[in-house]
Structure 1
Amino acid sequence: MKFGILGCGHIAGKMTCAVKALQEQGYGVEAYAIASRSLEKAQNFAVENGFEKAYGSYEELAQDPDVDLIYIATPHSEHAAHSLLCIEHSKNLLVEKAFTVNADEASHVIARAKEKGTFLCEAMWTRFLPAVQMIREKILQGTIGKVETVEADFSMPLSHRERLRDPKLAGGALLDLGVYSLTFADIFLTDPQIGGKDNRVENTETKSVAFPTGVDATDWINLTYSHGQKAYLKTSMVAPTHNEGTIYGTKGFIHVQNLNDMVEIQIFDHSGTLTESIVPSKIANFYEYEVLACKKAIEEGRKECAEMPWAKTLEIMKVLDSLRNSWYIESVRSTR
């Protein structure tokens, strides 16, 4: 699978690390092409990371007939436009989270991919991790009893990054960090075997403190689900680093270090005694699992990944819209 990356920023470097590891270890993935708005930047990236092709425009990458999958690695505000550009050239896509600025854009991109018959997936890498299945199996085995509550906090002092400060670039804590807290709760509480059939959020209590530029700086989100479970979530781009989640059951709890890549899973009994610690293995940096899932889906002729179907992308985008709308965040409005 010839892999192309649209954009040469920080996240593109992380994905490149995963793709190169897959290539070197014989997983059938090739770091093929990189595109930037600057040819010099793309060429430098290609030389440093071993890409065969370098393009000075995104359209050139989209027009390359040999690219099998393009990863959109530009800011949130550009995801819809860049996705639509690639879809018009019938390219399979893996789009970095947050998928788009709002649900309206997401719906439009998905509809166009459906019309063109192209593969499309949101790169919410957490949902593809082997650790997710490990935790699910522990819960289904009754290790912690019936799940009642989830807590999650992903905070990191990132307000110095211009993109996160800028409303025009869909900045703020929620789309970059808070989506992980929401995803952590969603993965386990909406699982029909864990949370119960058709378990959905029935009530939301939320509070946000704004950054001087108008984006959300720190957010608190409390959710009540239809089967009675609770989720207590927090995110901040100005608070000290705190990245962890806990699933509480009637017989114990599971603590996860790092909501995004789940580098360690700790299981505690009802008395709070640590009974097991699991460090999931990885090929590179955990980004590789979403790439492999996309490769498998494309080879099987599927247009979406079971781990992150279009319906789930839209569902989460609507939740993000609802939250930001309640905080009066401007970027919820359609930019189409």
Structure 2
Amino acid sequence: MATRWGIVSAGLISSDFVNALKLLPPGEHRLVAVAARSLERAKSFATKNGVEKAYGSYEDLAKDPDVEVVYIGTIHPYHLPVGSLMIQAGKHVLCEKPMCMSVKETKQLIKLAKEKKVFLMEAVWSRFFPVYHEMTKRIKAGEIGDVVQVLSSFGKSLEHVDRETKRELGAGTTLDLGIYTVQFATLVMGGEKPEKVLAGGHLSAHGIDESTSTTLVYSGRRLASLASTIRADLPSEAFVIGTKGTIKTLPRQHGTSFHDAQVPFFTRGLTTGGLLQFLFSSIKCCISIVTTLNSSLSCWLTIPCGVLRASSHLQENTSHYFPNQIIVSTLAIVRV
């Protein structure tokens, strides 16, 4: 049976999401409705992308009984209110990263999802790339020996982009780019909480975190060194260095090198839409499990697994933009 999607927001990221869905077999997914703050924008989006219905408010989409799961592509500050609205209506939710603006908000959303017995996940698509699965398998098999250090960077020149420079839009490198480096390190370290976090960075003239550098100190003499910025194009690659070898992920994780030998295929050469297919397949499977069991497995989430403090310290050392709050990064789908 086709997964029945509702799309919240008619922006560029929602367009990418819908275009990726179209690459899958027609019988697997169905674009039921789109909602925007303007009915005109929603109708334009629906016409362009083949969505069945258009709504001029998020509330109207939440009331649509044909919508099974909702993709939330709004700006960051709207994730909690819109996510809560959809979960209250009994919809499964795939929320664009970051799931919320703070741990407090995220816990609130998770609690609601558990109460309503729905699926909730943060859309960090790279976690579903085949290359990530291959990398994890080889690390667990001991192919590079014991992990010693993770080096990860992600940076793009984005100072001209409003959503990266305006507070009201949830701006900052930590929320938009740094999340990828944190989730990568956490994946390699098996979800373990770091023993110590050392972080620093620089603020823009508007008080937005524009560049950050973080060191996560783990047990077993392991380290992770992470960097992100919206001021320049960083290499945007990652290394997993072990006692017997090194794994390198190439920009955007399109391919991976193991022991300096290029691995054929995996995700190299695929478009954005092609890469999102792996995410959709996993979501369809998870929703099926939730719907079928509707009991102890009724709520599946991507949760922080102990690295929340990494982002917290990062922000505490770069600004007071998010006082007493912690930013969440996506880790793995787990039972809670």
Q: Give the structure-1-normalised TM-score.
A: 0.88
Asked whether 1:280 is paired with 2:271, we answer no
Letter in 2 for 1:277: V
SS of alignment partner, residue 175 of structure 2: helix
Where 2:182 maps in the other structure, the secondary structure is: helix
Q: 1:310 to 1:240 in 2, by over 3 A?
A: closer
Return the alpha-carbon distance in structure 2 between the equivalents of residues 218 and 285 of structure 1.
Answer: 30
Contact 1:170 1:331 in 2 (8 A): no
Question: Take 2:303 and 2:107, find their aligned partners in 1: how far apart are those partners?
Answer: 10
Please say which of residues 58-67 and 234-243 is displaced more in the overlay: 234-243
Q: Deviations over 1:280-323 (max 9, x none)?
A: 14583322222221211111124444xxx3433x7455532332
Partner residue in 1 for 2:318: 327
Q: Map residues 24-63 of structure 1 onto 2, 5 A cutoff.
A: 25-26=25-26, 28-63=28-63
Q: Distance in 1 between matches of 2:309 and 2:198?
A: 16
Counterpart residue identity of residue 323, structure 1: L
Instruction: Identify the match of residue 206 of structure 1 among 184, 187, 199.
Output: 199
CA drift of 1:231 comes to: 0.6
SS in 2 for 1:278: coil
Q: Please tell me the root mean square deviation across aligned C-alpha atoms, in Å.
A: 1.9
Structure 2 SS opposite 1:243: coil
Report the residue type matching 2:6 in the other structure.
G
1:292 is matched with which residue? 281
Give 1:209 deviation, angstroms.
Answer: 0.6
Distance 1:315 1:157 in 2: 30
Q: Secondary structure at the match of 2:138?
A: helix
Aligned to 2:68: 68
Query: 2:9 is matched with which residue?
Result: 7
Matched, 1:137 2:129: no
Asked whether the 8 Å contact 2:97–2:123 carries over to 1, the reply is yes
Q: Please give the secondary structure, in 2, of the residue aligned with 1:242.
A: coil
**Identity among equivalent pairs (%):** 30
State the shift of 1:164 in Å.
1.1
Given that 1:167 and 1:331 are in contact with CA atoms closer than 8 Å, whether structure 2 keeps it comes out as: no
Secondary structure of 2:134's counterpart equals helix
Paired residue for 2:93?
93
Q: Distance in 2 between matches of 1:220 and 1:9?
A: 31
Matches within 5 A, 1:85-234: 85-190=85-190, 199-234=192-227
The aligned counterpart of 1:194 is: none
Contact 1:266 1:278 in 2 (8 A): no
- In structure 2, do the counterparts of structure 1 residues 278 and 182 end up closer, same or farther at CA, with 3 Å as the change threshold? farther
Name structure 1 gaps, 5 residues minimum: 192-198, 269-273
Report the CA distance between 1:327 and its aligned residue: 2.2
State the SS of the aligned residue for 1:157: coil
Instruction: Tell me what 1:196 maps to.
Output: none
Cα distance in 2 for partners of 1:333, 1:223 equals 20
**Partner Cα separation in structure 1 for residue 35 and residue 149 of structure 2:** 44
Q: CA deviation at 1:257?
A: 1.1
Structure 2: which amino acid aligns with 1:294? I
Measure the CA separation in 2 of the matches of 1:212 and 1:108. Answer: 32
Contact 1:17-1:285 within 8 A present in 2 as well: no
Kindly provide the amino acid, as one letter, of the partner of residue 321 in structure 2: E
Cα distance, 1:241 vs structure 2: 4.3
Q: Give the 3 Å change call, closer, same or farther, for CA 78–5 of structure 1 in structure 2.
A: same
Could you list the runs of 5+ residues in structure 2 that have no partner in the other structure?
291-296, 326-336
Where does residue 271 of structure 1 map in the other structure? none
**TM-score normalised to structure 2 length:** 0.88
- 1:251 CA drift (Å): 1.4
Structure 2 Cα separation of the partners of residues 321 and 204 of structure 1: 9
Deviation of the 1:64 alpha carbon: 0.6
How many pairs align? 314
Look up the SS of the partner of 1:238 in the other structure.
coil
CA distance in 2: counterparts of 1:316 and 1:332, whole angstroms: 18
Distance 1:298 1:97 in 2: 19
3-state DSSP class of the match of 2:135?
helix
Identify if the C-alpha distance between structure 1 residues 37 and 27 changes in structure 2 by more than 3 Å, giving closer, same or farther: same
**Letter of the structure 2 residue corresponding to residue 180 of structure 1:** Y
More off after superposition, 125-134 vs 104-113: 125-134
Aligned match for 2:235, one of 239, 242, 247: 242
Shift of 1:54: 1.1
For the 8 Å contact 1:163–1:171, the answer to whether it is kept is yes
For residues 94 and 303 of structure 1, do their structure 2 counterparts lie closer, same or farther at Cα, with a shift above 3 Å needed?
farther
